[in-house]
Protein backbone atom coordinates (compact mmCIF):
# COMPACT_ATOMS: atom_id res chain seq x y z
CA UNK A 1 0.00 0.00 0.00
CA UNK A 2 3.02 2.31 0.28
CA UNK A 3 2.94 3.37 -3.35
CA UNK A 4 -0.77 4.16 -3.35
CA UNK A 5 -0.35 6.17 -0.16
CA UNK A 6 2.54 8.04 -1.74
CA UNK A 7 0.54 8.98 -4.86
CA UNK A 8 -2.46 9.99 -2.77
CA UNK A 9 -0.15 12.06 -0.58
CA UNK A 10 1.34 13.81 -3.59
CA UNK A 11 -2.13 14.53 -5.00
CA UNK A 12 -3.19 16.10 -1.70
CA UNK A 13 0.04 18.06 -1.30
CA UNK A 14 -0.36 19.65 -4.72
CA UNK A 15 -4.15 19.60 -4.89
CA UNK A 16 -4.82 23.29 -5.57
CA UNK A 17 -2.21 23.44 -8.34
CA UNK A 18 -3.43 20.13 -9.78
CA UNK A 19 -7.00 21.41 -9.90
CA UNK A 20 -6.42 24.97 -11.01
CA UNK A 21 -3.34 24.94 -13.22
CA UNK A 22 -4.09 21.96 -15.46
CA UNK A 23 -6.65 23.44 -17.85
CA UNK A 24 -4.06 23.26 -20.64
CA UNK A 25 -0.67 21.60 -21.04
CA UNK A 26 1.16 24.94 -21.17
CA UNK A 27 -0.54 26.11 -17.98
CA UNK A 28 0.47 22.85 -16.29
CA UNK A 29 4.04 23.38 -17.49
CA UNK A 30 4.01 26.92 -16.10
CA UNK A 31 2.56 25.63 -12.82
CA UNK A 32 5.27 22.98 -12.55
CA UNK A 33 8.05 25.46 -13.31
CA UNK A 34 6.80 28.00 -10.79
CA UNK A 35 6.25 25.36 -8.10
CA UNK A 36 9.74 23.93 -8.65
CA UNK A 37 11.36 27.38 -8.55
CA UNK A 38 9.51 28.21 -5.33
CA UNK A 39 10.50 24.86 -3.81
CA UNK A 40 14.17 25.40 -4.65
CA UNK A 41 14.08 28.87 -3.11
CA UNK A 42 12.35 27.50 -0.01
CA UNK A 43 15.00 24.76 0.34
CA UNK A 44 17.76 27.34 0.03
CA UNK A 45 16.26 29.66 2.63
CA UNK A 46 15.53 26.72 4.94
CA UNK A 47 19.18 25.67 4.80
CA UNK A 48 20.16 29.16 5.98
CA UNK A 49 17.41 29.41 8.60
CA UNK A 50 18.18 25.95 10.02
CA UNK A 51 21.58 27.07 11.24
CA UNK A 52 20.09 30.15 12.94
CA UNK A 53 19.78 29.42 16.65
CA UNK A 54 16.57 30.24 18.54
CA UNK A 55 14.30 30.42 15.49
CA UNK A 56 10.66 29.79 16.45
CA UNK A 57 8.66 27.37 14.27
CA UNK A 58 6.04 30.01 13.41
CA UNK A 59 8.67 32.53 12.35
CA UNK A 60 10.53 29.89 10.32
CA UNK A 61 7.42 28.70 8.49
CA UNK A 62 6.20 32.27 7.95
CA UNK A 63 9.52 33.07 6.32
CA UNK A 64 9.37 29.97 4.11
CA UNK A 65 5.77 30.71 3.09
CA UNK A 66 6.72 34.32 2.30
CA UNK A 67 9.59 33.17 0.10
CA UNK A 68 7.40 30.65 -1.74
CA UNK A 69 4.61 33.17 -2.31
CA UNK A 70 6.86 35.99 -3.51
CA UNK A 71 8.65 33.69 -5.97
CA UNK A 72 5.36 32.35 -7.36
CA UNK A 73 3.79 35.81 -7.55
CA UNK A 74 6.75 37.21 -9.49
CA UNK A 75 6.97 34.26 -11.87
CA UNK A 76 3.18 34.17 -12.36
CA UNK A 77 3.25 37.79 -13.49
CA UNK A 78 5.92 36.86 -16.07
CA UNK A 79 4.24 33.63 -17.26
CA UNK A 80 1.72 35.26 -19.67
CA UNK A 81 4.67 36.80 -21.56
CA UNK A 82 6.20 33.35 -22.11
CA UNK A 83 3.25 31.00 -22.67
CA UNK A 84 -0.48 31.40 -23.31
CA UNK A 85 -2.13 31.21 -19.90
CA UNK A 86 -5.91 31.55 -19.52
CA UNK A 87 -6.92 34.46 -17.25
CA UNK A 88 -8.51 32.15 -14.70
CA UNK A 89 -5.29 30.18 -14.25
CA UNK A 90 -3.14 33.15 -13.17
CA UNK A 91 -4.57 32.92 -9.63
CA UNK A 92 -3.32 29.33 -9.28
CA UNK A 93 0.11 30.21 -10.60
CA UNK A 94 0.26 33.00 -8.01
CA UNK A 95 -0.79 30.57 -5.28
CA UNK A 96 1.51 27.73 -6.43
CA UNK A 97 4.20 28.96 -4.05
CA UNK A 98 2.04 28.38 -0.96
CA UNK A 99 0.93 24.90 -1.99
CA UNK A 100 2.17 22.31 0.56
CA UNK A 101 4.09 20.42 -2.17
CA UNK A 102 6.52 23.36 -2.26
CA UNK A 103 7.43 22.68 1.38
CA UNK A 104 7.54 18.88 1.08
CA UNK A 105 11.34 18.75 0.93
CA UNK A 106 11.69 20.70 4.19
CA UNK A 107 9.01 18.75 6.07
CA UNK A 108 9.93 16.50 9.00
CA UNK A 109 10.81 12.85 8.30
CA UNK A 110 11.03 13.43 4.54
CA UNK A 111 14.38 12.37 3.08
CA UNK A 112 15.94 13.96 0.00
CA UNK A 113 15.18 10.76 -1.95
CA UNK A 114 11.50 10.85 -0.93
CA UNK A 115 11.28 14.51 -1.90
CA UNK A 116 12.80 13.86 -5.33
CA UNK A 117 10.49 10.91 -6.01
CA UNK A 118 7.52 12.95 -4.83
CA UNK A 119 8.44 15.83 -7.12
CA UNK A 120 8.90 13.50 -10.09
CA UNK A 121 5.45 12.03 -9.45
CA UNK A 122 3.95 15.49 -9.02
CA UNK A 123 5.46 16.60 -12.33
CA UNK A 124 4.11 13.58 -14.17
CA UNK A 125 0.67 13.99 -12.58
CA UNK A 126 0.52 17.71 -13.37
CA UNK A 127 1.55 17.32 -17.02
CA UNK A 128 -0.66 14.26 -17.57
CA UNK A 129 -3.66 16.05 -16.09
CA UNK A 130 -2.88 19.04 -18.31
CA UNK A 131 -2.75 16.86 -21.44
CA UNK A 132 -5.93 14.92 -20.57
CA UNK A 133 -7.94 18.03 -19.73
CA UNK A 134 -6.76 19.94 -22.79
CA UNK A 135 -7.22 17.08 -25.26
CA UNK A 136 -10.66 16.07 -24.06
CA UNK A 137 -11.76 19.56 -23.03
CA UNK A 138 -10.58 21.62 -26.00
CA UNK A 139 -9.46 19.05 -28.58
CA UNK A 140 -5.95 20.50 -28.72
CA UNK A 141 -2.47 19.69 -27.41
CA UNK A 142 -0.40 22.71 -26.33
CA UNK A 143 -2.77 24.85 -28.40
CA UNK A 144 -2.47 22.78 -31.60
CA UNK A 145 -5.21 20.54 -32.95
CA UNK A 146 -4.80 16.93 -31.87
CA UNK A 147 -3.35 14.68 -34.62
CA UNK A 148 -6.11 13.51 -36.96
CA UNK A 149 -8.58 15.87 -35.36
CA UNK A 150 -10.54 12.88 -34.04
CA UNK A 151 -11.16 14.30 -30.58
CA UNK A 152 -14.60 15.75 -29.95
CA UNK A 153 -14.05 18.49 -27.33
CA UNK A 154 -16.16 18.05 -24.22
CA UNK A 155 -15.88 21.36 -22.43
CA UNK A 156 -16.64 19.90 -19.01
CA UNK A 157 -13.09 18.49 -18.88
CA UNK A 158 -11.81 22.06 -18.88
CA UNK A 159 -14.33 23.03 -16.16
CA UNK A 160 -13.99 22.59 -12.37
CA UNK A 161 -15.97 19.35 -12.62
CA UNK A 162 -13.42 17.91 -15.06
CA UNK A 163 -10.59 18.91 -12.72
CA UNK A 164 -12.11 16.97 -9.83
CA UNK A 165 -12.92 13.99 -12.07
CA UNK A 166 -9.33 13.74 -13.31
CA UNK A 167 -7.82 14.07 -9.83
CA UNK A 168 -10.37 11.69 -8.32
CA UNK A 169 -9.65 9.17 -11.09
CA UNK A 170 -5.91 9.33 -10.31
CA UNK A 171 -6.50 8.58 -6.61
CA UNK A 172 -9.01 5.82 -7.33
CA UNK A 173 -6.87 4.37 -10.13
CA UNK A 174 -3.83 4.19 -7.85
CA UNK A 175 -5.85 2.41 -5.17
CA UNK A 176 -7.38 -0.07 -7.62
CA UNK A 177 -4.02 -0.79 -9.28
CA UNK A 178 -2.33 -1.50 -5.95
CA UNK A 179 -5.25 -3.64 -4.83
CA UNK A 180 -5.00 -5.79 -7.96
CA UNK A 181 -1.22 -6.00 -7.66
CA UNK A 182 -1.30 -7.11 -4.02
CA UNK A 183 -4.16 -9.63 -3.98
CA UNK A 184 -5.16 -10.16 -7.60
CA UNK A 185 -8.34 -8.10 -7.25
CA UNK A 186 -9.78 -10.21 -4.44
CA UNK A 187 -12.17 -8.58 -2.00
CA UNK A 188 -10.40 -6.91 0.95
CA UNK B 1 -30.19 42.30 -9.27
CA UNK B 2 -27.76 44.83 -7.79
CA UNK B 3 -24.00 44.42 -7.85
CA UNK B 4 -23.62 43.52 -4.17
CA UNK B 5 -26.31 40.84 -4.21
CA UNK B 6 -24.85 39.35 -7.36
CA UNK B 7 -21.34 39.34 -5.85
CA UNK B 8 -22.72 37.59 -2.77
CA UNK B 9 -24.57 34.88 -4.70
CA UNK B 10 -21.75 34.41 -7.21
CA UNK B 11 -19.25 33.92 -4.38
CA UNK B 12 -21.42 31.30 -2.71
CA UNK B 13 -22.32 29.40 -5.89
CA UNK B 14 -20.58 29.84 -9.24
CA UNK B 15 -17.38 31.12 -7.62
CA UNK B 16 -17.55 28.88 -4.58
CA UNK B 17 -14.09 28.93 -2.95
CA UNK B 18 -13.99 25.14 -2.53
CA UNK B 19 -15.37 23.51 -5.66
CA UNK B 20 -15.34 26.30 -8.26
CA UNK B 21 -12.27 28.46 -7.61
CA UNK B 22 -10.45 25.69 -5.65
CA UNK B 23 -8.62 28.03 -3.26
CA UNK B 24 -10.14 26.30 -0.21
CA UNK B 25 -10.29 22.81 -1.72
CA UNK B 26 -7.34 21.32 0.15
CA UNK B 27 -8.44 22.69 3.53
CA UNK B 28 -11.95 21.27 2.97
CA UNK B 29 -10.64 17.87 1.82
CA UNK B 30 -8.16 17.35 4.66
CA UNK B 31 -9.60 18.88 7.83
CA UNK B 32 -13.29 17.90 8.28
CA UNK B 33 -13.74 14.37 9.65
CA UNK B 34 -17.48 14.39 10.29
CA UNK B 35 -20.45 16.72 9.92
CA UNK B 36 -20.87 17.40 13.62
CA UNK B 37 -17.20 17.94 14.43
CA UNK B 38 -16.75 20.25 11.45
CA UNK B 39 -19.39 22.80 12.49
CA UNK B 40 -17.22 24.83 14.86
CA UNK B 41 -14.13 24.87 12.60
CA UNK B 42 -16.36 25.82 9.66
CA UNK B 43 -17.64 28.82 11.61
CA UNK B 44 -14.14 29.91 12.60
CA UNK B 45 -12.70 29.46 9.11
CA UNK B 46 -15.58 31.33 7.52
CA UNK B 47 -15.21 34.29 9.91
CA UNK B 48 -11.46 34.29 9.23
CA UNK B 49 -12.06 34.19 5.47
CA UNK B 50 -14.58 37.03 5.69
CA UNK B 51 -12.27 39.37 7.55
CA UNK B 52 -9.16 38.36 5.61
CA UNK B 53 -10.95 38.93 2.29
CA UNK B 54 -12.40 42.24 3.38
CA UNK B 55 -9.29 43.64 5.06
CA UNK B 56 -6.86 42.43 2.38
CA UNK B 57 -8.97 43.62 -0.54
CA UNK B 58 -9.62 47.00 1.11
CA UNK B 59 -5.98 47.57 1.98
CA UNK B 60 -4.83 46.80 -1.55
CA UNK B 61 -6.98 49.65 -2.85
CA UNK B 62 -4.93 52.03 -0.67
CA UNK B 63 -1.40 50.90 -1.56
CA UNK B 64 0.57 50.87 -4.83
CA UNK B 65 -0.13 47.77 -6.93
CA UNK B 66 3.42 46.45 -6.46
CA UNK B 67 2.76 46.27 -2.70
CA UNK B 68 -0.42 44.21 -3.11
CA UNK B 69 1.25 40.78 -2.69
CA UNK B 70 2.85 41.97 0.56
CA UNK B 71 -0.57 42.99 1.85
CA UNK B 72 -2.08 39.65 0.86
CA UNK B 73 0.78 37.81 2.53
CA UNK B 74 0.71 39.87 5.74
CA UNK B 75 -3.07 39.55 6.11
CA UNK B 76 -2.93 35.83 5.30
CA UNK B 77 -0.23 35.12 7.87
CA UNK B 78 -1.89 37.31 10.52
CA UNK B 79 -5.20 35.51 10.03
CA UNK B 80 -3.45 32.13 10.19
CA UNK B 81 -1.89 33.19 13.50
CA UNK B 82 -5.37 34.16 14.71
CA UNK B 83 -6.75 30.76 13.73
CA UNK B 84 -3.89 29.11 15.61
CA UNK B 85 -4.69 31.21 18.66
CA UNK B 86 -8.30 30.05 18.42
CA UNK B 87 -7.12 26.44 18.49
CA UNK B 88 -7.51 25.55 14.81
CA UNK B 89 -4.91 23.90 12.55
CA UNK B 90 -2.57 23.10 15.45
CA UNK B 91 -1.67 19.54 14.41
CA UNK B 92 1.02 18.51 11.99
CA UNK B 93 0.13 17.25 8.53
CA UNK B 94 2.60 15.25 6.46
CA UNK B 95 5.53 16.54 8.49
CA UNK B 96 4.60 20.20 8.30
CA UNK B 97 2.35 22.44 10.41
CA UNK B 98 -1.31 21.98 9.50
CA UNK B 99 -1.59 25.78 9.51
CA UNK B 100 0.01 25.75 6.08
CA UNK B 101 -3.33 24.51 4.71
CA UNK B 102 -4.96 27.79 5.69
CA UNK B 103 -2.58 30.09 3.83
CA UNK B 104 -3.72 29.43 0.25
CA UNK B 105 -7.45 30.00 0.94
CA UNK B 106 -6.76 33.11 3.01
CA UNK B 107 -4.60 34.67 0.29
CA UNK B 108 -6.75 33.37 -2.57
CA UNK B 109 -9.96 34.85 -1.16
CA UNK B 110 -8.28 38.24 -0.79
CA UNK B 111 -7.24 38.16 -4.45
CA UNK B 112 -10.73 37.08 -5.56
CA UNK B 113 -12.50 39.70 -3.44
CA UNK B 114 -10.09 42.38 -4.61
CA UNK B 115 -11.23 41.91 -8.22
CA UNK B 116 -14.63 43.43 -7.37
CA UNK B 117 -13.16 46.89 -6.77
CA UNK B 118 -16.06 48.68 -5.08
CA UNK B 119 -16.64 48.50 -1.30
CA UNK B 120 -20.21 47.13 -1.24
CA UNK B 121 -19.37 44.35 -3.66
CA UNK B 122 -16.19 43.50 -1.72
CA UNK B 123 -18.18 43.16 1.53
CA UNK B 124 -20.74 41.00 -0.24
CA UNK B 125 -18.10 38.86 -1.97
CA UNK B 126 -16.26 38.33 1.33
CA UNK B 127 -19.51 37.23 2.94
CA UNK B 128 -20.34 34.98 0.00
CA UNK B 129 -16.93 33.30 0.10
CA UNK B 130 -17.25 32.77 3.85
CA UNK B 131 -20.75 31.26 3.59
CA UNK B 132 -19.86 29.17 0.54
CA UNK B 133 -16.77 27.78 2.25
CA UNK B 134 -18.63 26.93 5.46
CA UNK B 135 -21.39 25.07 3.61
CA UNK B 136 -18.96 23.00 1.54
CA UNK B 137 -16.75 22.32 4.57
CA UNK B 138 -19.63 20.78 6.53
CA UNK B 139 -20.98 18.91 3.50
CA UNK B 140 -17.58 17.37 2.77
CA UNK B 141 -17.25 16.41 6.43
CA UNK B 142 -20.60 14.61 6.17
CA UNK B 143 -19.57 12.85 2.94
CA UNK B 144 -16.25 11.73 4.42
CA UNK B 145 -17.99 10.42 7.53
CA UNK B 146 -20.66 8.51 5.61
CA UNK B 147 -18.08 7.01 3.22
CA UNK B 148 -15.90 5.92 6.14
CA UNK B 149 -18.70 4.02 7.89
CA UNK B 150 -20.16 2.55 4.69
CA UNK B 151 -19.85 -1.15 3.85
CA UNK B 152 -18.04 -0.60 0.56
CA UNK B 153 -14.46 -1.72 -0.10
CA UNK B 154 -11.71 0.35 1.50
CA UNK B 155 -10.48 1.14 -2.00
CA UNK B 156 -13.37 3.50 -2.59
CA UNK B 157 -13.65 5.08 0.84
CA UNK B 158 -12.76 8.67 1.87
CA UNK B 159 -10.61 10.57 -0.64
CA UNK B 160 -11.95 9.13 -3.94
CA UNK B 161 -15.53 9.56 -2.76
CA UNK B 162 -14.83 13.09 -1.53
CA UNK B 163 -13.18 14.12 -4.82
CA UNK B 164 -15.92 12.65 -7.03
CA UNK B 165 -18.55 14.24 -4.78
CA UNK B 166 -16.84 17.60 -5.25
CA UNK B 167 -17.07 17.03 -9.02
CA UNK B 168 -20.83 16.55 -8.65
CA UNK B 169 -21.09 19.71 -6.52
CA UNK B 170 -19.12 21.60 -9.18
CA UNK B 171 -21.52 20.35 -11.84
CA UNK B 172 -24.52 21.40 -9.76
CA UNK B 173 -23.14 24.87 -9.05
CA UNK B 174 -22.28 25.44 -12.71
CA UNK B 175 -26.00 25.52 -13.37
CA UNK B 176 -26.54 28.73 -11.39
CA UNK B 177 -26.51 31.92 -13.42
CA UNK B 178 -27.63 35.33 -12.19
CA UNK B 179 -28.33 38.46 -14.18
- ipTM of the prediction: 0.93
Is A144 buried (19+), middle (13-18) or exposed (0-12) by CB count in 10 A?
exposed
The string of pLDDT tens digits covering residues A114-147 is 999 999 999 999 999 999 999 888 888 888 887 7
Q: Which residue of B has its CA nearest to A10?
A: B94
Q: Is residue B65 part of a domain?
A: yes
Q: Is residue B145 part of a domain?
A: yes
Q: Is residue B39 part of a domain?
A: yes
Chain B hits for A73, Cβ within 8 Å: 69
pLDDT at B12: 94
The string of pLDDT tens digits covering residues B37-95 is 999 999 999 999 999 999 999 999 999 989 999 999 999 999 999 999 999 999 999 98
Chain B hits for A55, Cβ within 8 Å: none
What's the number of domains chain B is made of?
A: 1
Mean pLDDT of chain A: 88
Tell me the nearest-neighbour CA distance from A19 into chain B, angstroms.
7
Q: Is residue B179 part of a domain?
A: no
Per-residue pLDDT of chain A (188 residues; tens, 9 = 90+): 466 678 899 999 999 999 999 999 999 999 999 999 999 999 999 988 876 655 678 888 999 999 999 999 999 999 999 998 888 899 999 999 999 999 999 998 889 999 999 999 999 999 999 999 998 888 888 888 877 766 777 778 889 999 999 999 999 999 998 888 877 655 54
pLDDT at A188: 46
Domain that holds residue B18: 3-174
Asked if A167 reaches chain B (Cβ–Cβ under 8 Å), the answer is yes
Asked if B100 reaches chain A (Cβ–Cβ under 8 Å), the answer is yes
Give contacts of A 63-82 with B, CB under 8 A.
65-66, 69-70, 73
**What is the count of residue pairs from A and B with beta carbons less than 8 Å apart?**
127
Question: Which of the four pLDDT bands, split at 50, 70 and 90, describes residue B128?
Answer: very high
Asked if B119 reaches chain A (Cβ–Cβ under 8 Å), the answer is no
Amino acid sequence: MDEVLRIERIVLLGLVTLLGATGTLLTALAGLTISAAAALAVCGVNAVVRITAGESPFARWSLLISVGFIISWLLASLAPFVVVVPDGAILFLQLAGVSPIVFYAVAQKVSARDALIGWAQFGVLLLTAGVVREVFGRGTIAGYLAPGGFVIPADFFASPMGAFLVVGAVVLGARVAVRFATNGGGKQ
Amino acid sequence: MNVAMRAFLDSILIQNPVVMTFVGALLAVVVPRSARSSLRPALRFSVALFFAGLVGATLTTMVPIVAAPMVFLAVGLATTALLLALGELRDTWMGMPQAILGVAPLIGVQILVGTYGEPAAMVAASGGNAVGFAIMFVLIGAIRESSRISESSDTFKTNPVVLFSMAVFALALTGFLFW
